[in-house]
Amino acid sequence: MAFIHKSGPALCEPFAKLASTAIAVGSVISFTSGYVSQAVKESVRLAGVAVRKIASTDDDFASATTISVIVPSSEDIFEADVTGTATQANVGKQYDISTTNAGTSQTVVLANTTYKVVTVVGFISASKVLVKLNAAYFFANKAN
């Protein structure tokens, strides 16, 4: 499952994508040498969430064309799947995202708190939470 925008202004901006790299729709995006590509768990400079899928079968796969990215503000909230079992106790805590193959969207990893790129702001179920991306969440910190 992907990071699905649930609330907030959802400002979309075009960014040049890294050529010959798959991107899943709804995946968290980071910057790589001035281009965007799927974020990995170590990515702390996040651009946002991709609104378009890029696959090897696309005409522009090998080019650095632009894709639309939801650039999160402190108000944007996303629904995300988790690795682990979510509870109400996860709300207010910060976690890492998973590293996946390019073209497969990430999850929130409840056991990992090294990079703390998302803050859980709501509990949905044992497998889903609401999060804000810390790249835009101006009062986020690594205190917890």
pLDDT tens for residues 23-67? 999 999 999 889 999 999 888 788 999 999 999 999 999 999 999
Burial label for 28, CB within 10 Å (0-12, 13-18, 19+), is buried
- How far apart CA 95 and CA 4 sit, in angstroms, is 17
- Indicate the pLDDT class of residue 141, thresholds 50, 70 and 90: low
Higher pLDDT, 4 or 140: 4
Residue-averaged pLDDT of the chain: 91
- Considering only CA atoms, give the Rg of the chain: 14
